[in-house]
Amino acid sequence: MNLVIDIGNSNVKVATFNEDFLLNNEVLEYSKLIQYLKDLNFNSGIISNVGNQNLESELLNKYPNLISLSSKLDFPIQFSYQSMDTIGKDRIANAVGAFVQNPNSNSLVIDAGTCLTFDFVDSNNCYHGGAISPGLTMRFKALNAFTEKLPLLDVKSADIKLIGSDTKLSIISGVVNGMAGEIISIIERYRQKHPILSIFFTGGDSEFINSIVEFEKNGIFAVENLTMIGLNTILNNNEK
């Protein structure tokens, strides 16, 4: 059994695989991970870490059958990027996940999490990079942090209007519709360059954004565990 650990900015995602088949997927607080792992028997595992270096070090010391995602590993795709060491680990995993979903095709991954990221893999299975912009929650926090009077909002279940009739609704309209418009515009520009394009949408806010943009009508496929699938593939690619 393979173990995949994705240490994010606010929590930890843990998944187990039997070869390429996803068995289980959990989201845990940092403090709950060690106890959770005590009950698991796994053959090998991989850690992707963007949020807690101390936790990663503790895990690597405790479990010798774990490896850390880094540029030194072997990958099933090529990279055309100025520095492998500066690519976000989640972006690497997403690129590999897109390769798994549809190899030998032009693919765009859109990840709506803490940040909104776009990552492109071409039909030769080569990763080229993409774009990074603020995620949904970050946009709301920025309006609150850098102004005197705008409130901090959380609108995962709000009815989104185009025209906001008060300050709260205007913020919601600007943030959500602005993010949706950004996504649609980027997709259109990629499609102009690559008419045959597979598009994969993932991330913690993907379901909410999906309800606003109606991605199915735009030929976009939601893959909830794309990052974990990519990490598991990287692990399999590096097993001795």
Contacts of 3 (CB under 8 A, 6+ apart): 14, 15, 16, 37, 40, 42, 44, 45, 46, 66
pLDDT in the model for residue 8: 84
Average pLDDT of the residues of the chain = 91
pLDDT band at 188 (very low <50, low <70, confident <90, very high): very high
- Tokens 């913690």 locate to 204
Of 61, 58, 122, the closest CA to residue 95 belongs to 122
Mean pLDDT, range 223-234, rounded to an integer: 96
> What three-state secondary structure class fits 40?
coil
> What three-state secondary structure class fits 54?
helix
Question: Which carries the bigger pLDDT value, residue 221 or residue 66?
Answer: 66
State which H helix or E strand residue 126 sits in.
strand 126-134
Each residue of 81-92: pLDDT tens digit? Answer: 988 888 999 999
Please check the confidence at residue 209 and state whether its pLDDT lies above 70.
yes
pLDDT in the model for residue 221: 85
Q: How far apart are CA 12 and CA 16, in angstroms?
A: 13
pLDDT in the model for residue 158: 62
pLDDT in the model for residue 214: 66
Query: Which entry of 20, 74, 85, 90 is annotated as an active-site residue?
Result: 90
User: Strand 115-121 to strand 220-222: parallel, antiparallel, or no bridges (unpaired)?
Assistant: unpaired
At 193, the amino acid letter reads K
CA dihedral 98, 87, 212, 150 (to 10 degrees): 170
Mean pLDDT, range 212-218, rounded to an integer: 66
> Which residues is 120 bridged to in the sheet?
108, 129
pLDDT in the model for residue 206: 86
Domains and CATH numbers, the chain: 2-68 (3.30.420.40), 84-229 (3.30.420.40)
* 119 tagged catalytic: no
Q: What is the pTM of this model?
A: 0.92
Each residue of 114-161: pLDDT tens digit? Answer: 899 999 999 999 999 999 999 999 999 999 999 999 999 987 666 788
Count CB atoms within 10 A of the CB of residue 82: 9
pLDDT band at 198 (very low <50, low <70, confident <90, very high): very high
- Tokens 């859109």 locate to 110
Q: How far apart are CA 232 and CA 2, in angstroms?
A: 7
Each residue of 25-64: pLDDT tens digit? Answer: 999 998 889 888 988 889 999 999 987 888 899 999 999 9
Please check the confidence at residue 216 and state whether its pLDDT lies above 70.
no
Mean pLDDT, range 93-111, rounded to an integer: 96
Percent of the chain's residues with pLDDT above 90? 74
